[in-house]
Amino acid sequence: MLGEIDAQTTKWSFTMRTNQMPRESRAMTRFEVLVIAGVIALLTMVVLPGVANTSNRYGRLACLNNLRQIGVAFHSWGNDRGDFVPLRTPMKDGGLGKNSSGGLLNPRAGSAWFDFAYMSNQLGAPNILICPSDTAKAPNQCSTWRDLFVRQNAAVSYFVCCEAFPNKPQAILAGDRNLQSDALGNCDVGISGIWQANANSGSRSGWTNIMHFPMGNLLLNDGQVAETSTDTMHWYLGLTTFSGAVHCVMP
Contacts with Zn ion by CB under 5 A lie at 63, 131, 162, 176, 187, 217, 247
Give the shortest CB-132-to-Zn ion separation in angstroms: 7
DSSP structure class, residue 73: H
d(CA 103, CA 105): 6
Nearer to Zn ion by Cβ, of 15 and 135: the residue is: 135
Using DSSP bridges, classify how beta strands 158-161 and 172-176 pair: parallel, antiparallel or unpaired.
Answer: antiparallel
Burial class (CB in 10 A: 0-12, 13-18, 19+), 16: exposed
Q: Look at phi and psi of residue 68 and say left if phi exceeds 0, alpha if psi is from -120 to 50, else beta.
A: alpha
Nearer to Zn ion by Cβ, of 115 and 176: the residue is: 176
46 CB neighbour count, 10 Å cutoff: 9
Nearer to Zn ion by Cβ, of 21 and 183: the residue is: 183
Nearer to Zn ion by Cβ, of 24 and 188: the residue is: 188
236 CB neighbour count, 10 Å cutoff: 20
DSSP structure class, residue 102: S
Give the shortest CB-146-to-Zn ion separation in angstroms: 25
Give the shortest CB-36-to-Zn ion separation in angstroms: 39
Give the shortest CB-195-to-Zn ion separation in angstroms: 10
Give the shortest CB-207-to-Zn ion separation in angstroms: 10
Contact 229, 242 (CB under 8 A): no
Burial class (CB in 10 A: 0-12, 13-18, 19+), 21: exposed
In 3D, which of 204, 202, 190 has the Cα closest to residue 247?
190
Give the shortest CB-64-to-Zn ion separation in angstroms: 8
d(CA 19, CA 10): 14
The residue length of the chain stands at 251
Nearer to Zn ion by Cβ, of 117 and 225: the residue is: 225
Nearer to Zn ion by Cβ, of 60 and 148: the residue is: 60
Nearer to Zn ion by Cβ, of 105 and 162: the residue is: 162
Give the shortest CB-71-to-Zn ion separation in angstroms: 14
